[in-house]
Amino acid sequence: MTAVTLTVNGAERSLEVEPRTLLVHALRDELRLTGTNVGCDSSSCGACTVLVDGQSAKSCTMFAVQADGADITTIEGVADADGTLHPMQQAFHEHHALQCGYCTPGMVMAAISLVEEYPGLDEHGVRHGLEGNLCRCTGYQNIVDAVLAAAGSGGD
């Protein structure tokens, strides 16, 4: 077992993991942060997207030991403590950018990173930028609308 210290949603967390433990499993099974979903298990679908040092990463394609010392943000950590939604969450809410909701945590995390990385996104940029996040309800139109709205309102 290997000792790993992560800052998760602002709080320092120490845990002992096997080196082969994937970050998503450390978050879900060890830290009980089950908002991050496992989808394809092969780095294609983006359901497991979290922020590592502020940038989107697929937590199924990263060992927890690689994240030692890193700052991790999951979907549980983006709203304010008083429950006020993050602007991206609010935009998803207002634009009904979800159907079954399974892809939503990963979509929101990927979208937060996307608008930060690419200022001035247009529709094509949003669609291209979210290529790595699959919605099997195929509800992409409202997701794109939500991300464009959040980007326009300075939502990051």
Partner 1 sequence: MIPAAFDYEVAESAEAAISLLAEHGDDAKLLAGGHSLIPMMRYRLATPSVLVDVGRLDDLRYIRAGNGTVSIGALTRHSELEHSAALAEACPLLASVAALVGDPAVRHRGTLGGTLAHADPASDLPAAVLALGGTIVAQGPGGSREIAASDFFTGYFESVLDADEMITEVRVPADRGGWNYQKFNRRAQDWAIVGVAVAGGGSGVSLVNMGSVPVRASGVEAALAGGASAAEAAAVAADGLEPPEDLNADAEYRSHLARVLTERALNAAGVA
61 makes contact with partner 1 (CB under 8 A): yes
Nearest to 60 by CA among 31, 20, 33, 98: 20
Report how far residue 83's alpha carbon sits from residue 95's, in angstroms, rounded to the nearest whole number: 19
Q: Does 139 sit near partner 1 (CB under 8 A)?
A: no
| Residues across the chain | 156
Q: CB 64 → partner 1: shortest distance, Å?
A: 10
Counting contacts by CB under 8 A, is residue 19 touching partner 1? yes
Spell out the residues 6+ positions from residue 113 whose beta carbon is closer than 8 angstroms to its own: 49, 51, 54, 55, 56
N- to C-terminal Cα separation, the chain: 37
Q: Does residue 124 interact with partner 1 by CB under 8 A?
A: no
Contact letters for partner 1, residues 92-121 (x by CB under 8 A): ------------------x--xx--x----
148 binds partner 1 (CB under 8 A): no
What is the sign, positive or negative, of the torsion defined by CA atoms of 116, 112, 50, 71?
A: positive
Residue 20 or residue 32: which is nearer to partner 1 going by CB? 20
Output 94 or 140, the one with its CB closest to partner 1: 140
Among 9, 56, 89, 104, binds partner 1 (CB under 8 A): 56
- Quickly tell me which residue has 């990385």 as its tokens: 117
Q: Which amino acid is at 105?
A: P
Work out whether 55 is an interface residue with partner 1 (CB under 8 A): yes
Is 129 one of the binding residues for partner 1 (CB under 8 A)? Answer: yes
